[in-house]
Chains A and B, each alone.
Chain A
Amino acid sequence: MAKTKTVKEVMIDVFEYPHVPYWFTIGQAMEIIRKSLMTGDKCYYPMAVLVFDEKYNLMGSVTIGDILKGLEPKLKISTLADAEISYVDEDVMTSYETSLFNAESKKNVEKPVGDIMVPAKTFVAPEDSVVKAAIMMIHHNVSLLPVLEDKKKLVGLVKMVNVFDEIANMIL
């Protein structure tokens, strides 16, 4: 069996993704994603921005899924006893839908991305194998993995797509 590739060989440049400081608003991040990742033919998956602190240290990432979650108004938590409707009630679902992503969401776009960011806790080193990267991604449920040199310097990113491709080569 051929030697498995290292992270270094499959990683992409950090500048393929937009970088924002944590105080940028959700609205700014949305604008940036639309302008940088949703134009042209290039396939960006996952669609995300990287979030940095004031000293340009990586803090985490915000995917389009995190943004939608962040925009969703917080619902009043009700108990089972309060519930008068079954979950299939179409009318209620419709009124719920129309209430979503409205006034409250407009307020939420002003929140900083730091509030909805998923902190980067899992890393790989450039010399690590693609297999290790795959394990990390599966077990920590991330699709974009930062590559750190000497556990400090951000040198690249591993996307699940690249890992998938390598694993497929190994197995098939």
Chain B
Amino acid sequence: MINLSHHNVIITNMEPLIQREYSKKLYIQLVEILKKKITSDEWPVGSQIPTEDELCKLYDVSRSTVRTAILELVRFGFLKRQQGRGTFVSRKIITAGLTVLTDFKELMLAEGLKYSTKLLVRTMVMPTGDIDKNLGVSLDKHVIYIKRLRSVDKEPLLIKETYVPYHLCPALLKEDVEKNSIFELLESKCGIQITKAKGFVEITYLTKEESSLLKLPKGSPALLFTQQIYADDTVVKFVRMIKRPDRFRYFIEVERKPTFF
């Protein structure tokens, strides 16, 4: 424990500290500390956070460390800076890395949000429409169809429809798909190693049923995600997700590599 008696600010024993002997970069440690304050609601949505000066003193770090940490939290949507007013805790927006294969559950855990899943439908269908092409199976193959509603903080955020060929994972008919993610079940119950996902993001307009589930007016625009999940070259799952447009944003990073001729 570092002796803090020489500091001119009062830090309670509960206050997490920056550990200098720890190999993690200082600003990353500060990001984690501040993130925890936001996700635990110690700093509620809309509240103003301490100034950079105050944070410098509070954690005994340089101004550039504080600035980098705040910028990082702004980038991930936890904080919002308002010119001349200060920095505020922003309404939670869920950030997903488009290029990284993440599952909703993993994502929610990483973001520290409380979420719940409601199973609406679990039955068997034949792959009509474009489902056969998306799954790469013929129309006479039985397909498990699961429809769930995901909510964060009791607010419905997304409708997720999942199609998995029955022969690949019959266990999905029985397993708890409210607590477990299908992603995990495919791996743990059916030994399917998911390797990649391909998909599209587009705008859709909510049908009557979708709008009542998401508590939005009929015909409202929403984000539509269609995704094929692969294990090597086989499509093991086709997902159709309808997301509230105002609660998600996507992080895209493009790197320019020097080319050599």
Contact = CB atoms under 8 A, between A and B. Distances in A.
B126 A18 contact: yes
B140 A18 contact: yes
Given A15-B142, A35-B139, A21 B122 contact: no
**Residue from B125, B126, B145 whose CB has the most chain A CB atoms within 10 Å:** B126
Contacts of A31: 128, 139
B173 interface: yes
A21 B163 CA distance: 14
Contacts of B129: 28
B55 interface: no
Contact of A56 (B120, B126, B128, B173): B173
Interface stretch (A47-55, A72-80, A134-142): A47-55
Interface residues of A, number: 19
A37 B140 CA distance: 8
A36 B143 CA distance: 13
A24 B125 contact: yes
**Residue from A31, A35, A37, A52 whose CB has the most chain B CB atoms within 10 Å:** A35
A32 interface: yes
A2 to B, nearest CB: 36
A135 B243 CA distance: 53
A77 B123 CA distance: 39
Interface in B89-108: none
Interface in B201-248: none
B125 A20 contact: yes
Interface string B121-142: 1111110110000000011101
A19 interface: yes
B59 interface: no
B43 interface: no
Interface in B132-174: 138-140, 142, 145, 166, 173
A52 B138 contact: no
B139 A32 contact: yes
Interface of B: 120-126, 128-129, 138-140, 142, 145, 166, 173
10 contacts: A19-B125, A20-B126, A28-B126, A31-B139, A35-B139, A49-B126, A53-B123, A54-B122, A56-B123, A56-B124
Closest 10 CB pairs of A and B: A36-B140, A35-B139, A19-B124, A54-B121, A56-B123, A32-B126, A28-B128, A21-B123, A18-B126, A52-B123
